[in-house]
Amino acid sequence: MDKEIAEKVVHQTLNVSGNEVVEIRGDKNVIDFMEILAVEVEVAGGFPFINVFSDGYIENKCKYVPDKYLRRTPYVLKELTERKDKIINIISRDPQKTFKVPSGKLKLFRAAYRALEEEEDRKQIPNVQVVYPTKERSAFYGIEFGRYKKILLDALNIDYWNLRAKGEKILKLFNNGDNLQVKTTSGTDITMSIQGREAKLLDGIIDEEDINSGNYLESLPSGCIYILPVEGSANGIIVFERAYLRGQLLEDLTFEFRKGKLIRYSAEQNGDVFQRIMNGATGDKDKISHIGFGLNPGITQPTGDLVLDEHVIGAFFLALGENRYLGGKNSSSLNIDFVTLNTEIYLDDKLIIVQ
């Protein structure tokens, strides 16, 4: 399985070519997979370098390093940013793991590294985020590990060129539409304007055309359309039946928007978790970052894992906060996604069937 995924990432999604420098990021628990990716990069003629981190390192750094050093952006990594051509970022962390450090320390650490991310965004370095199956992730979502691996592999092993062909047809509808409405039987009924906004397709491939249009970010599994709605246009209610935040399950998390701002939120349980996240965030945390719709034919059932569920056909996802990396205007320390399934999508009062 690991070699199959590595081949897709290196040769198809990123299309690594001779002499390109590729950074491979990941937790120490996936070092074997990182090495497989590194070899595949060299097969393509590129130069890999592996950037390994761990929760223990981050916790100890925040605990022992003085604030004046913690807030520094590592100049060595900044220099490497000038050299690297592509990035592979492996997502394998236990969703219920939290950092056992004071929030103020963690903010300093994240702010220092955010400067590196902003430089990568400025240079528009092609970056693919790859979800890797671990027993911790499958256990958290209550799915037997073998089944979780199969769901993930099925989601990865789709025909990306066929996905692109189908996605481009739907993309034209959104790019020619003005008013969007999303409904669900659980109570979602929200409207917003997308007039003049260009929708983007994530189809598992970053090619020259994507990069030239500013579409340099990808995630695997892939398969969705996303768009930045007109600022101040969102009105209504959206209900997320299940949302996982900081290792906690929030049921029926409900957002109410008025003139594009989140004015009210509630949840049947663990609503205080979202409250703490909002209290700790800064900037445009109560504004919509982007919205999107799932298109992946390989995912036939929800899992509770956001990175899979937001690509399910019929899924609608919404992110709050930062969106300058997508060409938006929101500046925030927050960037967080939520997803709801089995949606009805109306474009200019016409029901859009995504299949």
List, for residues 133-171, the tens digit of each pLDDT value. 888 888 888 889 999 999 988 998 888 889 999 999 999
Q: Are residues 317 and 172 in the same domain?
A: yes
Q: Are residues 106 and 188 in the same domain?
A: no
Question: What's the CATH number where 17 sits?
Answer: 3.40.1830.10
The whole domain housing 281 covers 160-352
Q: How many CA atoms lie within 13 A of 319 on its CB side?
A: 24
Q: Are residues 196 and 121 in the same domain?
A: no
Q: Has residue 251 been placed in a domain? A: yes
Q: Are residues 245 and 182 in the same domain?
A: yes
Alpha helices of the chain — where are they, by DSSP H? 2-7, 31-43, 55-64, 67-70, 75-83, 103-123, 135-140, 145-156, 160-175, 208-212, 271-280, 306-309
User: 1 in helix, strand or coil?
Assistant: coil
Contacts with 136 (C-beta within 8 Å, 6 or more apart), sequence order: 94, 95, 96, 97
Query: What would the pLDDT profile of 236-289 be if each residue is shown by its tens digit?
Result: 999 999 888 877 889 999 999 999 999 999 999 889 999 999 998 999 999 999
Q: Are residues 124 and 38 in the same domain?
A: yes
Nearest to 183 by CA among 345, 315, 309, 302: 345
Contacts with 118 (C-beta within 8 Å, 6 or more apart), sequence order: none
Residue 350 has a pLDDT of 93
Q: Are residues 114 and 30 in the same domain?
A: yes
Query: What would the pLDDT profile of 174-190 be if each residue is shown by its tens digit?
Result: 999 999 999 999 999 99
Q: Are residues 173 and 243 in the same domain?
A: yes
Q: Has residue 151 been placed in a domain? A: no
Q: Is the pLDDT of residue 355 over 60?
A: no
**pLDDT-derived band at 353, boundaries 50, 70, 90:** low
**pLDDT-derived band at 215, boundaries 50, 70, 90:** confident
**pLDDT-derived band at 191, boundaries 50, 70, 90:** very high
Q: Are residues 172 and 320 in the same domain?
A: yes
Q: Are residues 63 and 165 in the same domain?
A: no
Domain end call among 132, 149, 174: 132
Contacts with 173 (C-beta within 8 Å, 6 or more apart), sequence order: 347, 352
Q: Has residue 144 been placed in a domain? A: no
Q: Distance between CA 4 and CA 271 in Å, rounded?
A: 40
Residue 145 has a pLDDT of 93
Nearest to 214 by CA among 76, 313, 75, 323: 323
Query: What would the pLDDT profile of 314-329 be if each residue is shown by its tens digit?
Result: 899 999 999 998 889 9
Q: Has residue 51 been placed in a domain? A: yes
- Entry field: residues in the chain: 355
Q: Are residues 91 and 194 in the same domain?
A: no
Residue with tokens 């103020």: 104
Which position has the higher pLDDT, 74 or 191?
191
Q: Distance between CA 39 and CA 26 in Å, rounded?
A: 15
Q: Is the pLDDT of residue 1 over 80?
A: no
Q: Distance between CA 46 and CA 40 in Å, rounded?
A: 9
Query: What would the pLDDT profile of 83-100 be if each residue is shown by its tens digit?
Result: 999 999 998 877 767 677
Report the pLDDT averaged over residues 99-116.
Answer: 84
* C-alpha distances in Å from residue 107, one per residue of 99, 102, 283: 12, 9, 14
Distance of CA 262 to the CA centre of its chain: 21
Residue with tokens 């952006």: 73
Residue 290 has a pLDDT of 97
Domain end call among 96, 112, 132: 132
Q: Is the pLDDT of residue 113 over 90?
A: no
Instruction: Please say whether the beta carbons of 245 and 313 come within 8 A.
Output: no
Q: Is the pLDDT of residue 39 over 80?
A: yes
Total domain count, the chain: 2
Mean of the per-residue pLDDT values of the chain? 91
Determine what percent of the chain falls in helix, strand and coil, rounding each to the nearest 5.
Answer: 35, 30, 35
Q: Are residues 198 and 325 in the same domain?
A: yes
